[in-house]
Structure 1
Amino acid sequence: MARFTGKSIIVTGAGSGIGRATTLLFASEGGRVIAADKTDAVEETCALVDKAGGTAHPILIDAGNEEDVIRAVAMACEYYDGLDIMFANAGISGGMANIFDTDVALITEVLRVNLIGPFLAIKHAAPKIVERGGGAIVLTASVAGIRSGAGSPAYSASKAGVINLAMVSAQQLSGSNVRVNAICPGLTETGMTKPTFDYAREAGKMDRVGRLNPLRRGAQPEELAKVAAFLASDDASYVNGQAIAVDGGLSSSHPVTKQEYGKTAV
């Protein structure tokens, strides 16, 4: 497939995990990517794209800083003559403190990166995408933004905001031919979750990772990248203002007594 041939694309959080996997996928299908990240790991991402014969240029940014987001959008317009797709993927976890142990500085920083970041991406990318006749914006939310139990209060609140932001911005871009959707990953092996996966492997407990979802496993970044790429592509031309859970089925149920396949629940 070559769904993104000639398309100008920005990916934030492109230095690792879902961002890196999506950058590689976009580029493999002909996309020209501005790979943005706060660390120089994005240089490695671009080197991988180059080795595979694709096109990507790195830029170091803070996704929650307006001037940096403006720089990334300007770079796409300078290098690729405009912008077609924005994937606002960058985010931070904010730890696992409960509400009463979370200080204002922590939740402010989580909201700045996880929610204000996507807001800035929409604010500055959408007008440029409109100039190209339309395109797509994809935001990374989380199953933690759908309901309680998948993240800290700060993280969960920020991702709930991202889901609503996708809906509101889709409406406010009515008639522009710019679609806005969000993906809601479940437990995925990324830089953010690396300690969990590393511990499970070292302790021989990988069978416990993702055990609460029906597929009984965690996801790999490439699985999320495929959904993000679908939403960014013309294959999703009639999908707009939606939050798509990619979580192995975790969010499909309310808490119940677990039933093993072929066994009677007790």
Structure 2
Amino acid sequence: MMRFEGKSVIVTGGGSGIGRAAAIAFAEEGASVIVADLTEGADETAAMIGGAARAIRMDAGSEEDVIRTVALACEKYGGLDVMFANAGISGGMANIFDTSAELIAEVLRVNLIGPFLAIKHAAPRIVERGGGAIVLTASVAGLRSGAGSPAYSASKAGVINLAQVAAQQLSGSNVRVNAICPGLTETGMTKPVFDYARDAGKIDRVGRLNPLRRGAQPEELARAALFLASDEASYVNGQALAVDGGLSSSHAVTRQDYGKTAA
């Protein structure tokens, strides 16, 4: 499939995890990709892709950096068709009473102001190309409590609402805005959890709260993002797609394995 042949795509947070998997997948399907990240991972991802990619160091929560990144896509590829605003930080796991206002502000700056800036500066360029898509990375933590820290959860709830508001405010532009809501996924952010489980011989317990009984790999989230960015999702707009193994489909319950009955 070459769903993005001739398309220009920006992926923020493209230096690792979901962003890297998505950047590679976009390129494999014909896109020219701007890989944006605060770290040298951007250069590594671009090198993995080859000539169809350009790397740029950028802070997703900096308006100047977002403007530079969009300008680079327009300069190198003649415009912009897809923005995948994926960059984010975790903010740790402290509870409300142990979380500082400074930490909340920084998490919101990157995780919420970042997607806001991506929409603000990418959408007009996408409109110039006749339409396209913006995909934001939210989280199941933004759907309800229990999947992240107060700072992270609040920021991702804001991303979900931002996708809805942006979809409405871009009415008639042929620019769709949607969000993906990952569950537990093996990325740099969650690496300590997966590494600890492997070292302890307990990897089978990771993700056990969802019906699939496992965590996700970045490529699984990338495929969902590419679907929302593609013409296959041409009538999907203003939505938050949970990609979480079924975690958010239920309130917390005690489950039995399929085919087993209570003793």
Structure 2 length as normaliser, TM-score? 0.99
* Aligned residue number for residue 28 of structure 1: 28
Residue 223 (structure 2) aligned to one of 226, 236, 240: 226
Distance 1:118-1:162 versus aligned 2 partners, 3 A rule: same
- Which letter does structure 2 place at the counterpart of 1:134? G
- Equivalent positions of 1:134-213 (< 5 A) are 134-213=131-210
CA drift at 1:261: 1.5
- Which letter does structure 2 place at the counterpart of 1:58? A
Runs of 5+ unmatched residues, structure 1: none
Identify which range, 253-262 or 21-30, moves more after superposition. 253-262
1:77 aligns with 2:60: no
* Aligned residue number for residue 250 of structure 2: 253
Task: State the secondary structure of the residue aligned to 1:222.
Answer: helix
Task: State the secondary structure of the residue aligned to 1:26.
Answer: helix
Structure 1 length as normaliser, TM-score? 0.98
Contact 1:257/1:265, CA 8 A, preserved across alignment? no
Contact 1:183/1:244, CA 8 A, preserved across alignment? yes
Alignment RMSD, CA only? Answer: 0.8
| 4+ residue segments displaced more than 6 Å | none
CA drift at 1:262: 1.8
Cα deviation digits, residues 202-249 of structure 1 (max 9, x gap): 111001100000000000000000000000000000000000000000
CA drift at 1:265: 4.6
- Which letter does structure 2 place at the counterpart of 1:82? G
- Equivalent positions of 1:47-58 (< 5 A) are 47-50=47-50, 55-58=52-55
1:116 aligns with 2:113: yes
Runs of 5+ unmatched residues, structure 2: none
* Aligned residue number for residue 10 of structure 2: 10
Task: State the secondary structure of the residue aligned to 1:20.
Answer: helix
* Aligned residue number for residue 38 of structure 1: 38
1:264 aligns with 2:261: yes
Cα deviation digits, residues 59-87 of structure 1 (max 9, x gap): 00000000000000000000000000000
